[in-house]
């Protein structure tokens, strides 16, 4: 426990001055992040199916105390929701929505149209050829209408379209795009809005806080607005590194999206503490590299130096978010604790990453206390 953290907790009355251990200290923290940020923006986290099912009572407590919004890590994606034949399997999605209802937490739907985690068979015939545009429209209509209406009034935000801009800063040549062109985006938003007019609808993507892809996303969003498509917010995923993007780039992005009349959300925030020396800025989950021990330097824990850098990076981000709180609706972390982060397996399988606020044993890291007192 650092002196500052201890002093803050004692001064704020959160912990008795005699508190001997960090474990006890944590046990006696009475307010959480959602309280700290309640007048600024929602603070969210993503839940995997086990967490939503309540299999980790300690994590349930952490969520209740700290987070004012939840997102489903996988449960509402096509691949999780439907069998190869198209039958619906609602168990995990229902569980996620029930968790939000039970604990009265703002809940996000993620996502209605995405090129990934969806079977090719949605787009192709048995002979491997693309289905006709009318057939894809029919499938999209059934999918979006069924899903959005099932949870109408229970999911406040929807990530309607995910990652439609490619790493080459032009429209991604996804199956959706190849069959329907950009119209698949208009269609998804129009359908979602028709079914649940009170839901807040977002376009969500990674690296759109960086030069190049930002401009491509702004151009797309500008076209959507011009066509009267009901897009109300932008989700900057925020899967970022320790050394980039810069705070200046992120600030430029917040301002540019807000100027377009969109509410800004950080939807999948995490900070990769491992090196990204390979030549790929991408967060596309299809990208993979080979494991080597040198690429897994914090296998037995973070150094103090790296841990301090992580705290400083998060602190700088939250200072920026606070500065622009009038434009930002929500900041959601992509997960709660380091044992369950996707970054343990991306883009190299089996590494030990430390990107979140809670460690592998579900204890708060220094950064947690730094944010708590902001
Ligand atoms: C993307 C998706 C998320 C998730 C992350 C990585 O950013 O939007 O649903 O799959 O990748 O886990």
Nearest partner of 75 among 101, 107, 106, judged by Cα? 107
- Which letter does DSSP use for residue 106 in this model? E
Three-class SS state of 232: coil
Query: For this structure, is 305 an active site residue?
Result: no
**Which one is catalytic: 268, 294, 305, 315?**
268
Query: Residue of the nearest CA to atom 12 in ligand 1?
Result: 342
Q: Show the ligand 1 pocket: residues with CB < 6 angstroms.
A: 162, 206, 237, 268, 285, 342
Enumerate the H helices of the chain as residue ranges: 3-11, 22-27, 33-36, 49-52, 57-66, 78-81, 91-102, 133-150, 175-180, 183-195, 213-226, 247-259, 304-323, 366-372
Nearest partner of 374 among 326, 306, 330, 311, judged by Cα? 311
H or E stretch covering 205: strand 200-205
Two tokens, residue 270: 């995490």
Report how many helices (DSSP H) and strands (DSSP E) the chain contains, helices first: 14, 9
pLDDT (0 to 100) of residue 24: 56
From the number of C-beta atoms within 10 Å of its C-beta (0-12, 13-18, 19+), residue 63 rates as buried
Q: What is the residue-level pLDDT of the chain in tens, covering all 374 positions?
A: 444 444 444 444 444 333 345 565 666 677 899 999 999 999 999 999 999 999 999 999 999 999 999 999 999 999 999 987 899 999 999 999 999 999 999 999 999 999 999 999 999 999 999 999 999 999 999 999 999 999 999 999 999 999 999 999 999 999 999 999 999 999 999 999 999 999 999 999 999 999 999 999 999 999 999 999 999 999 999 999 999 999 999 999 999 999 999 999 999 999 999 977 554 555 565 667 789 999 999 999 999 999 999 999 999 999 999 999 999 999 999 999 999 999 999 989 999 999 999 999 999 999 999 999 99
pLDDT (0 to 100) of residue 92: 98
Q: How far does residue 15's CA lie from ligand 1's centre (Å)?
A: 37
pLDDT (0 to 100) of residue 289: 79
Query: Residue of the nearest CA to atom 9 in ligand 1?
Result: 73
Nearest partner of 246 among 211, 273, 296, judged by Cα? 211
Q: Pocket of ligand 1, candidates 235, 282, 334: which has the most ligand atoms within 8 Å of its Cβ, to mutate? A: 334
Two tokens, residue 114: 């995405």
Between CA 209 and CA 359 the distance in angstroms is 27
């Amino acid at each position: 426990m650092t002196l500052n953290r201890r002093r803050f907790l004692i001064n704020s009355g959160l912990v008795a001055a005699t508190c001997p251990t960090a474990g006890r200290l944590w046990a006696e923290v009475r307010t959480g992040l959602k309280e700290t940020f309640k007048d600024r923006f929602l603070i969210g986290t993503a839940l995997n199916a086990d967490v939503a099912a309540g299999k980790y009572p300690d994590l349930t407590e952490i969520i209740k105390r700290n987070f004012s919004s939840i997102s489903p890590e996988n449960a509402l994606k096509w691949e999780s929701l439907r069998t190869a034949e198209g039958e619906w399997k609602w168990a995990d999605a229902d569980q996620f929505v029930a968790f939000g209802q039970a604990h009265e937490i703002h809940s996000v739907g993620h996502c209605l149209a995405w090129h990934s985690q969806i079977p090719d068979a949605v787009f192709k015939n048995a002979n491997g050829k693309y289905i006709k545009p009318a057939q894809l429209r029919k499938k999209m209509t059934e999918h979006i209408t069924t899903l959005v209406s099932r949870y109408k009034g229970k999911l406040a935000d929807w990530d309607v379209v995910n990652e439609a801009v490619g790493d080459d800063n032009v429209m991604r040549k996804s199956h959706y795009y190849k069959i329907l062109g950009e119209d698949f985006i208009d269609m998804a938003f129009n359908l979602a809005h028709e079914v649940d007019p009170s839901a807040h609808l977002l376009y969500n993507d990674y690296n759109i806080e960086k030069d190049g892809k930002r401009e491509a996303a702004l151009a797309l969003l500008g076209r959507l607005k011009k066509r009267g498509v009901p897009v109300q917010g932008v989700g900057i995923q925020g899967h970022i590194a320790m050394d980039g993007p810069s705070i200046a780039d992120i600030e430029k992005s917040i301002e540019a999206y807000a100027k377009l009349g969109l509410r800004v959300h950080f939807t999948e925030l995490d900070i990769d503490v491992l090196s990204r020396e390979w030549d790929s800025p991408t967060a596309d989950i299809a990208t993979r590299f080979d494991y080597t021990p040198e690429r897994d330097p914090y296998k037995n824990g973070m150094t103090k130096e790296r841990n301090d850098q992580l705290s400083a990076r998060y602190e700088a981000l939250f200072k920026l978010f606070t500065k622009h709180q009038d434009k930002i609706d929500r900041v959601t972390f992509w997960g709660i604790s380091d044992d369950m982060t996707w970054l343990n397996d991306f883009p190299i399988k089996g590494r030990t990453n430390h990107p979140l606020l809670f460690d592998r044993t579900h204890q708060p890291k220094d950064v947690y206390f730094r944010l708590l007192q902001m």
